[in-house]
Structure 1
Amino acid sequence: MSALAAPSPDPVEPTDAVPVAVDGLPAAPPVDPAAEAAALEAAEREAQLARLMQRMQKTADFPALKDSIRGIQKISRSDTAHLRALSDEVLGDVGLTNKLLRLINTAFYSSVGGGSITSIKRAIALMGFQSIGMLAASLALFEKLPKGPDGARVQAEFRRALLAGMLASEMCPGFKHQELAYLSALFQNLGTMLGWMHFKDEATEIEAKLVELRAAAAAEEAEAGATGAALDAHPDPLHATVQQTAREVLGIGYEDLGVEVARQWGWPEDLQLALRRLHPRDPELPAGSDERLRVACTAANLLAAKLEALHDPDEIAACLAGFLPAWGVPLGLDEAMLGGMVERARSEWIEMATLLGLQLPNAAPAKGGKGPAMKTTAKPGSTGNGPELIKPRATASAAAGAAGAPAPRPAPPKVAVPAAVGQALGRALEAVSELAMSDAPLAAVLQALMTQVQQALQLQRIVVCLREPASGDLVGRIGLGDRASALAPQFRIALNPPNCLFGLLCAKNADTLISDAGDPVIAQRLPAWFARQVQAPTFLLLPLKLGDKPLGLIYGDRARPHTLQVGDAELTQLKAMRNQLIMAMRMRGAAA
């Protein structure tokens, strides 16, 4: 061997493959088996989703439903759309128009003109863009549900979702949040409904597998001695199993299917995200503002599944007692509040379901035929609805109770509210709504609201307070009636912290009627400026609040005690007017 010859290399132990550059090209990155498997799974999922969407597109009803809901939602969520745009969109579907008008004219909507609304334009003016968009979207889906025995299963899903929507809107107080919560909870089970509408064979197979799994889970609970009555820290243990079973059969989970369809309908990302269930991170801590909507909609769907077949008050009370440990603190609910919410939601649900022709499972009507009889431990003066701690037509006793004072002298019997008051408020609501959705300046909307409400309730004066950015106080800005312009600047209501009855009620967002301000218990808690300058013996307070942010206050009074009467129907109209004002403020940038 030549001395110059290179020695033979030593044997090299095997190692992991090392990328080698070839012909000057960069080395290929190492292959990650896990990432490769995940990419393959994602590709298969997308392919299966495309196949499912193609099957749905072949169903005659689906493209029409998609276009209808997409158009309605796009317009109803717009800050700049006008009455004609949304009314034209709804009127494009004759069946939807007739069903929507029929729904609006039920007793449930009588306070905003139900029974006399003959056009979609008037309905939008009375109820607002968001409300009509919400109802139209749910009705558009309902109209496409299969009828007869073949559609029984999907109609049952829709019926339960309808109750969930009602419950979620109660759990999310605030004009904007209520509407979004209703839609989100209603459509959280959209994928399941679509499965039964378009893939019945696969849905039947999924259901059969789930029945077996539920039976096994029930047997395990029984063996462990669990009662199954409580919704514990893992209140939806089979949800992941449902999604996994759907993926095994359909190739995609029901939840993913619903979100994808919502995306194709043009729903915004925040609403798409709300369609995914979310449980509280900690049942001992309040849900964060960024997750509260999803948590509330998840809770509403779970509670609806438990409640829909119950009608005995004791059974309902037991169900709610089991619900509270996991959801009470995260959603800020107590026993009294939850009882009131459920009672109202079930009443609305029964009326709407009856109108739509949905078969209710053993639901017994409550007093007056409006809903199921229920036990509730709601305290006197409590609406049970979020921050509204005082009944809208609260007497001096209720208001004093909210302020932590002993009960004052009894109030005299209530006088029936004349029918003319409701009629006048109905006309006022329509006028204010149309102006709020026009291009009129905010000052014109405020002036119209004050004029209309003063005339309808025959008030001595009315004053509107708005939040002062520097101090956070509510300050009187504009007034109408006896000395109202001169007295308006005297109104100054501190909220941080509240230091009088006005501030407390505004901070709590409590719509309140004080029948007799001369009652000693009430008088000692009134602001000093009120006692010195205003001295009204009876007055109404309607706070203006957007979410958690106070915006102002509508105040109205009369010259004699116990002469101002506001019933439930009148209050609903006043609230609707107040909501139109808040919407006008938001549209005009005054709610920042």
Structure 2
Amino acid sequence: MNRDNNNAEYQVSRRIQCRDGSVLLLCGLDGQCYLLDPLTATDNRPAPAHGLLASPDTTTQLAGQPYSCYPMSDNQLLSDTLVSKPDDRTAAGMLCDCMEALLHLQRHQLILPRLDAEHILLDQQGQACLLAGQATTATDEASLQDNVRQAGQLFYRLLTGRPHGSLPLQQFRPDLDPELHQLCQSLLDCHAAASTVSRAALAQLQDWLVRQQRFIRSEGNQQAALQQLLQRMRHNPDFPALSQAINAINHIGNADSERLQVLAEIILKDFSLTNKLLRVVNTANFSQFGGAVSTISRAIVILGFDTIRNLALTLLLFEHMHNRSHAKEVRDVATSALFCGLLARSLARHSRMQEAEEALICGMFQQLGELLCVYYFRNEYHLIRKKTDTGSSPAQAVQHTLGISYATLGTSTAEAWSFPERIVSSLEPYPPGPVRQPQHNAARLRMLGNLAQELTQLLSSPVTANTTQAQQLLTRYARALPLEINSLHAVIAETQAEFASTLHEWSNEAHVQGKAQQLKGATLGPHPDSKPAAPAAELESSCLASGPATTSLLSSGIQEVTSTLLGNYQLNDLLRMILEIMYRAVGFDHVVLCTKDPRQNMLQARFGFGENTAALLPVFKVDLQQQDNAFCIAMERNVDIFIEDASAAAISSHIPAWYRQLNLAQTFIIFPLVLEKRKIGFLYGDKNQAHSLPLRPDELNLLKTLRNQALLAIRQQQN
């Protein structure tokens, strides 16, 4: 509504003189009170809606002068409250509101012509609102910086009760908290980017205000506590970039036909993330081409969308948290979170669950709340540690200090970052008592994340966890994930090997320290002598240590295969090259390639290396109609099988009769060749003696890389 030439409608009750010479009018109309602000600009832009920005109800003209009209309701001008100078906490709170509103304007490249106590309204709760009716487009960075300096002048006035002048703040307020003095000066001296200065000042103000409350929250106001914590994080200088990147990745949907391109573009925007991800992709744990992946697009095509997406998310969080200046505390929590994620993935793989890669995210984010606390709320984190040291339980200390649990902070942040509901719900901890068997994907992810978290806590305890505690934990999860104690030992050992390798690959640290060192060597007590009850679990065995020559030979061979793949080649020649690399590098007694006979449901040995191979090939046949043997399990489930002792009681029943009759080997490994659920064949290698094939995790990964190169070659030939 626009009222023109209606002098009679508004009854001016008061004129308010501003320092720049302008005059505000307090007027009455139809029993309501209005504040009239003279319009001075012609290019006014409506300010985007925000709770701390007051928009005019209408415009009018008085004596030819246009005004913006603001309904006052029960509000009052901030300048009217300065008759009695506010205390420092109140002043900081008012400025906190103003800086948040100002930052919102800066995001939209808007400035205000005046930011002073006369152009700010206070409601009955003391919340400040900027008059935003005259917001205009910022023509340059200098105009944005000028608004920040005006905010500094306002803070000076709030702290001293005097308008900003030439006299330094300390002269009027020698008793002022040095942090507030420094903050005010940083605003007055604004020379950096306005948004950077504003965001840093806002985060500092919020941290200071929380410390004045002695970190004690009422139990009944969890939502308010949560919102304040989230708000403090949002205004930390480096949090928005992290949130934006994670949000963007999570918003790529499965239905997006260009999702590979979109993911590549998001990653490439972050130079550091791009370099880190390519370095990790080209390491043994991830590489498919022995270091040949040089673009993000190729990495996505080769490793798959989900693998690169999950790797990018974990790297974003790990790198963000890992590089904090107060490094030891953050590093300990970040490495513990990484271990938890790797453990969740190992548990999923051991149980042959399809959610293995997603379990890494769910496991790692179990400690998201603690990560956020140690990173953004350092003082509160120290107080929590003090409370636990003096006898409080960790849960009580966190609740009393933050007003919410770590889990609530983590799930709320994950929700704000647009993680899928199945991942957000997986961060919810289980109550005490037996855990039910999960019936769907989200429930399985929650179970894996919680179990990994509780195991990580056991392994992180100052005193080495004993088998009794571990057994109690397995009993709690018995219905959800049947797992024998000796199988758990194997899963933990596998995770620790991968943890050490991943830490080196991700952080490039030669020697791990602190919590990482503890987790790397922690045990759940002595390894029991009993054999596992579930025979299928025996089919995948842990790997031992071996010399460095194997790694070198495998890596060189992978480079050779890569060069061959880039040129013209015969498929059989390349497959023989892969078998020869396996044979020479590892020292297998036999290596064999088996492929499917198109005339019958059989896998037939085609060629290989080793003693008496010519006689072996015709009789090395696998009938795929037989289900309960190691070869068929490998093909049906597309899993790598490593048998350390074929004569072991729990294993012998899974060795087919024809293999036993050959009396070939006691130790062997099977790498299935499956393309889009089509069973093509497998690579086989053996050693005559049981337990005579020591392979480190990185060597096993290099062998898998050779298998993947074989699959690529087959795919290329078929295309």
Structure 1 residues 122 and 487: CA distance shift in structure 2, 3 A: farther
- Tell me which of 157, 162, 175 is aligned to 2:333: 157
- Structure 2: how far apart are the matches of 1:64 and 1:76? 21
The answer (yes or no) to whether the contact 1:328–1:334 under 8 Å persists in 2 is no
- Tell me which of 493, 500, 523 is aligned to 2:624: 493
How much does 1:347 deviate? Answer: 3.6
Per the alignment, residue 335 of structure 1 pairs with 485
- Structure 2: how far apart are the matches of 1:393 and 1:44? 51
2:541 is aligned with 1:360? no
2:537 is aligned with 1:387? yes
- Structure 2: how far apart are the matches of 1:151 and 1:558? 45
Whose Rg is larger?
2
Deviations 1:170-213 (A, max 9, x none): 111158522211111111222332234334455556x279538x
Letter in 1 for 2:373: G
- Tell me which of 341, 346, 349 is aligned to 1:170: 346
Per the alignment, residue 409 of structure 1 pairs with none
2:311 is aligned with 1:182? no
Per the alignment, residue 450 of structure 2 pairs with 298
Structure 1 residues 501 and 201: CA distance shift in structure 2, 3 A: closer
What secondary structure is seen at the aligned counterpart in 2 of 1:296? helix
The answer (yes or no) to whether the contact 2:558–2:706 under 8 Å persists in 1 is no
- Tell me which of 318, 331, 335 is aligned to 1:142: 318
The structure where strand makes up a greater share of residues is: 2
Per the alignment, residue 541 of structure 1 pairs with 670
Structure 1 residues 261 and 570: CA distance shift in structure 2, 3 A: same
- Tell me which of 587, 593, 597 is aligned to 1:462: 593
Alignment of 1:99-118 (within 5 A): 99-103=276-280, 109=285
Letter in 2 for 1:463: C
What secondary structure is seen at the aligned counterpart in 1 of 2:236? coil
Per the alignment, residue 476 of structure 2 pairs with 326
How much does 1:511 deviate? Answer: 0.8
How much does 1:335 deviate? Answer: 2.0
The answer (yes or no) to whether the contact 1:101–1:120 under 8 Å persists in 2 is yes
Size of the aligned set, in residue pairs, is: 467
The answer (yes or no) to whether the contact 1:388–1:510 under 8 Å persists in 2 is no
Bigger relative contact order (CA 8 A; separation at least 6) = 1
- Tell me which of 243, 257, 264 is aligned to 2:409: 257
Deviations 1:363-383 (A, max 9, x none): 6589xxx8568876377999x
Per the alignment, residue 571 of structure 1 pairs with 700
Deviations 1:369-428 (A, max 9, x none): x8568876377999x99835344899xxxxxxxxxxxxxxxxxx9998595444334665
Structure 1 residues 286 and 338: CA distance shift in structure 2, 3 A: same
Q: Calculate percent identity across the aligned residue pairs.
A: 23
Structure 1 residues 304 and 514: CA distance shift in structure 2, 3 A: closer
Letter in 1 for 2:274: T
Letter in 1 for 2:593: I
Structure 1 residues 380 and 282: CA distance shift in structure 2, 3 A: closer
- Structure 2: how far apart are the matches of 1:266 and 1:294? 17
How much does 1:65 deviate? Answer: 0.5
Instruction: With the length of structure 1 as denominator, give the TM-score of the two structures.
Output: 0.58
How much does 1:361 deviate? Answer: 2.5
Letter in 2 for 1:572: N
What secondary structure is seen at the aligned counterpart in 2 of 1:462? strand
The answer (yes or no) to whether the contact 2:261–2:297 under 8 Å persists in 1 is yes
How much does 1:338 deviate? Answer: 1.4
Structure 1 residues 82 and 477: CA distance shift in structure 2, 3 A: farther
The answer (yes or no) to whether the contact 1:463–1:479 under 8 Å persists in 2 is yes
- Tell me which of 535, 557, 573 is aligned to 1:424: 557
How much does 1:55 deviate? Answer: 3.2
- Tell me which of 632, 641, 647 is aligned to 1:511: 641
The answer (yes or no) to whether the contact 2:339–2:495 under 8 Å persists in 1 is yes
Letter in 1 for 2:420: P
The answer (yes or no) to whether the contact 2:551–2:699 under 8 Å persists in 1 is no
Structure 1 residues 515 and 326: CA distance shift in structure 2, 3 A: closer
Instruction: With the length of structure 2 as denominator, give the TM-score of the two structures.
Output: 0.49
Structure 1 residues 171 and 96: CA distance shift in structure 2, 3 A: same
Structure 1 residues 561 and 149: CA distance shift in structure 2, 3 A: closer
What secondary structure is seen at the aligned counterpart in 2 of 1:267? coil
Per the alignment, residue 268 of structure 2 pairs with 91
How much does 1:465 deviate? Answer: 5.8
Letter in 2 for 1:300: A
The answer (yes or no) to whether the contact 1:539–1:555 under 8 Å persists in 2 is no
Per the alignment, residue 31 of structure 1 pairs with none
- Structure 1: how far apart are the matches of 2:233 and 2:418? 17
- Tell me which of 433, 450, 460 is aligned to 1:308: 460
2:372 is aligned with 1:194? yes
- Structure 2: how far apart are the matches of 1:258 and 1:188? 8
Per the alignment, residue 377 of structure 1 pairs with 527
Return 5+ residue gaps in structure 2 as ranges.
1-217, 584-589, 609-613, 714-719
Per the alignment, residue 471 of structure 1 pairs with none
- Structure 2: how far apart are the matches of 1:271 and 1:430? 40
Deviations 1:12-42 (A, max 9, x none): xxxxxxxxxxxxxxxxxxxxxxxxxxxxx9x
What secondary structure is seen at the aligned counterpart in 1 of 2:671? strand
The answer (yes or no) to whether the contact 1:184–1:271 under 8 Å persists in 2 is yes
How much does 1:561 deviate? Answer: 7.3
The answer (yes or no) to whether the contact 2:346–2:491 under 8 Å persists in 1 is yes
